[in-house]
Structure 1
Amino acid sequence: MKLAFYHPHSALQTPWNVTQIALLIFPLSPFLGGVSILLAALRTCQLEYNRVSHSPINRGLALLSILLIISCSLADDKTQAFLGLFNLLPFFVLFAGLSTLIQTTAQLRQIALIFVIGSVPVVILGFGQMFWGWSFELQVLWMVLDLGLASGGEPPGRMAAIFMHANLFAAYLAIAFTLGIALCLEKWRSKSKIPTILLTVSVITSFAALILTDSRNGWAIAVVACLAYALYQSWYIIIAAVASVISSVLLAAFAPSPIAETFRRIVPAYFWARLNDQMYPDRPVALMRTTQWEFAWSLTQQRPWTGWGLRSFGDLYKAQMQIDLGHPHNLFLMLSAETGLPSALLFFGCLAWISFGGVQLLRKPNYLYKKDKLIFFSYLVVILQWAIFNTVDVSLFDFRLNTISWLFFAAVWGVVYSSSRFNRYGEDLIDHR
């Protein structure tokens, strides 16, 4: 029997409507959209307190919150450490509410469509920034609308649109690209020509913008999305083609000279020189990721239980290397250095459990309709991309990406937990799709 899910109370319809509207305006007004999403999550927690409090992941995050507060109270700079909690604790609440609010694959599909639509004006601003010299600073009522667009990109020559850095924009684009492919494939199956054309254009422009971010990490997670869909659809020709392209670029970048020179005749230097850092040959050693990772791990070894305190890495690194750097470009190493290994392991343990539950649900034959598996699979791909991105960068400090990340984890866990809960208690399930 195919299972579907329903909201236990119609009162949840209002928070859900607020969430949809907030997601649409969120890219251009992070403050207004983010506050609206958080309020919807808080209202959901109020309406569904028993369910929220019984979720094992929420209990794990509650324990993590206690550990983080203890770590901050023992930090050398307690003010900065407690300020760092604002990048974590409110998002635990957001997760608790949204994972209760989002229960069906129909909702996943709606979120994906809203996300792709919302990315269109951001991509347009990115192209305007790079090709037409668009530049502005717009601030209305303090943070309600606070946008900045730098002509030529940030850093110069790399598309960043309204994001602080091109790498962050690349992570955002990779999500839009991934979800756009899933929606395209669904529309293609339904033979709906006009929406398919519009979605295809969106996917192509997102991919073009992703290339112009000049982000190695962004390129990698976009390739992961292509390979994931090709494997899921058993498109072996595409798998072979993508593998050939990847191999050619890697050989051009890293192979011994005679072999590399051969492949450099066909692979543009824009790609291979960016991968092996020949595009930026004079980069200081302190800016190399390996240097940052070694320093972060040495901090973890010195204080493995409680860490040095949130937001402490930048000051410690500057004192050692005489260079400003906000984070070590690896989320696990940053958290282990700043909050201690127990907190870092619990944090990633909760997220790994969500991902594992999602994979298990996708593999179960009787829990998702066949037509719904693709959109659920796309959310798992986004989570995989988040993991890859945070291996060589940190998305925690960008409010947009942090909110989006917790939204996708919440969406996956919401469907997984609803499925197990309804199945366990044998309730009658109503398909509202």
Structure 2
Amino acid sequence: MINNANFSTLKNNLLVNNGWRCFQIGVFFLPSSALISYIFLLIALFEGSFIRRDLYWRDYWNYPLVLTSLLMLVGCIRSQTGWLAWIGLFNWLPFFWCFWGFQPYLLTTERRRKCASWLVLGSLPVLITGFGQLWLGWKGPWELFDGLIIWFISPGGEPLGRLSGLFDYANITAAWLSGVWPFCFASVIRPFIFGRNRVIPFLLSVAFVLAMILTNSRNAWGAIFIGLPLVVGSASWSWLIPLMVICFIPIVIAVLPVFDAGLQQFARSIVPESIWMRLTDIQFVDTRPFEATRIGQWRIAFNLIFEKPLFGWGAAAFSIIYPLRTGLYHGHSHNLPLEIAISHGILVAILLNLFVFALLIISAYYKIFNKLRTQKNLIIDRAWWTSALILICFHATDIPMFDSRVNILGWLILIGLRCIIFNPDTDKIVFKEN
């Protein structure tokens, strides 16, 4: 069992470990080249699993994942979507292994800090291509290394007018940027990406926030307001939260129809039109049918769950059944817990949700908001926890995890939470000697 005496030895061993090098390369290339990233991350996964001599079953955090896997497999046998149900398992089962195999690379605060740095730096192509497509009319595809890297860039964004960069859709880009920007912002408060330099992280943070705004994603806008106070920490809440409330008041007045017309018109003259129109969906008020709204989709989703509650319909069922019942197409239900319940049943949805929220709550209660921890060790883990909360909020009204790069990002964040909880005196994680 690893203890405090050999914990520093493990850190030093990881510094020269081939798996650790591959892990860093994979994280860096994750947003810009899925192929390169997957190759290096797969090598790191095998290496990370190999250096552990303890069994997968020894970690109690794996228990819900094992039970979930069994229920998913049984559900596939009984599914209504045939081979699609089996293909859908690749969104889950490999990452249950990653949750265990990648832990050696995120065990320490220093390793998490390094990983966060590569996520920020690896996001630069997303920012550059995003700004270029909106302001300079860039369009792809662009090929690098004889087609090893291909960037499909839509001129003017996808959808038109919304920043999407290297991703297929603006909402996916919004999820990626929102999940990474807390790390960039944390480096402004306590520098770690460029040594002691705060200027470059500050400029990058501004670029992240601007890009998040230009995605025209309401989730991304909310992520900015959620992330600021959480990354800064409770010591600054006495002045930061009132300041944020003051800035938010004009937006509330511009959006809600309960205020005086003159006052609302004044607020709308202050708030950019694209923001208050997006928040009210006023442009769709006469053209969008009820079935095309989130509430309409969730109503159908609940009906599907109640019809097959135990093992679900199988992966991709919503995209098949929803058009048959409404005449409209949607690829998913825009809510991850509902989507899991539709595809794999209520038991699987409960297990996975309890697993994620247990990581979030336990890490917050015992580690993140523990006043006994020093600010130096806390800032990166606070940013890590903030990223997890933001991605969870995203999946309440959308499912960006169906982009494999965002899915991997989400699991890296969950693995980091597990490692934040890790206690070298009690957790039985055994490593092979190099």
Normalising by structure 2, we get a TM-score of 0.90
**CA spacing shift, 1:97–1:260, aligned 2, 3 Å:** same
What corresponds to 1:362 in structure 2?
368
- CA distance in structure 1 between the aligned counterparts of 2:335 and 2:9, rounded to whole angstroms: 38
Q: Contact 1:7/1:103 (CA < 8 Å) preserved in 2?
A: no
State the 1:177 CA deviation.
Answer: 1.9
- CA distance in structure 1 between the aligned counterparts of 2:242 and 2:44, rounded to whole angstroms: 45
What corresponds to 1:173 in structure 2?
177
**CA spacing shift, 1:202–1:411, aligned 2, 3 Å:** same
What corresponds to 2:201 in structure 1?
199
Question: In the alignment, does 2:237 pair up with 1:232?
Answer: no
SS at match of 2:328: coil
State the 1:98 CA deviation.
Answer: 1.2
Amino-acid identity (%):
26
- CA distance in structure 1 between the aligned counterparts of 2:231 and 2:375, rounded to whole angstroms: 15
CA deviation profile, 1:206-240 (whole Å, cap 9, x unmatched): 11111111111111112100132345332432211
- Equivalent residue for 1:78, pick from 74, 77, 82: 82
**Deviating runs (4+, > 3 A) in structure 1?**
3-12, 138-144, 363-366
What corresponds to 2:354 in structure 1?
349
Question: In the alignment, does 2:255 pair up with 1:253?
Answer: yes
- CA distance in structure 2 between the aligned counterparts of 1:235 and 1:129, rounded to whole angstroms: 37
- Counterpart mapping for 1:257-336 below 5 A: 258=260, 259-281=263-285, 282-336=287-341
Question: In the alignment, does 2:44 pair up with 1:40?
Answer: yes
What corresponds to 2:211 in structure 1?
209
Q: Contact 1:129/1:151 (CA < 8 Å) preserved in 2?
A: yes
Name the stretch that deviates more: 351-360 or 82-91. Answer: 351-360
Question: In the alignment, does 2:413 pair up with 1:414?
Answer: no
AA aligned to 2:112 is: L
Question: In the alignment, does 2:419 pair up with 1:404?
Answer: no
Segments of structure 1 that go 5 or more residues without pairing to the other structure are 428-433
AA aligned to 1:353 is: A
CA deviation profile, 1:136-158 (whole Å, cap 9, x unmatched): 11457998423200000000010
What corresponds to 1:107 in structure 2?
111
What corresponds to 2:57 in structure 1?
53
SS at match of 1:146: strand
What corresponds to 1:17 in structure 2?
21
SS at match of 2:191: helix
Q: Contact 1:330/1:391 (CA < 8 Å) preserved in 2?
A: yes
Q: Contact 1:27/1:400 (CA < 8 Å) preserved in 2?
A: yes
- CA distance in structure 2 between the aligned counterparts of 1:358 and 1:328, rounded to whole angstroms: 29
Q: Contact 1:168/1:395 (CA < 8 Å) preserved in 2?
A: yes
State the 1:100 CA deviation.
Answer: 3.4
**CA spacing shift, 1:65–1:145, aligned 2, 3 Å:** same
Name the stretch that deviates more: 347-356 or 384-393. Answer: 347-356
Q: Contact 1:38/1:94 (CA < 8 Å) preserved in 2?
A: no
Question: In the alignment, does 2:158 pair up with 1:119?
Answer: no
Normalising by structure 1, we get a TM-score of 0.91
- CA distance in structure 2 between the aligned counterparts of 1:213 and 1:424, rounded to whole angstroms: 42
- CA distance in structure 1 between the aligned counterparts of 2:9 and 2:325, rounded to whole angstroms: 54
SS at match of 1:50: coil
CA deviation profile, 1:284-303 (whole Å, cap 9, x unmatched): 32220000111111111111
**RMSD between aligned alpha carbons?**
2.4
- CA distance in structure 2 between the aligned counterparts of 1:262 and 1:78, rounded to whole angstroms: 56
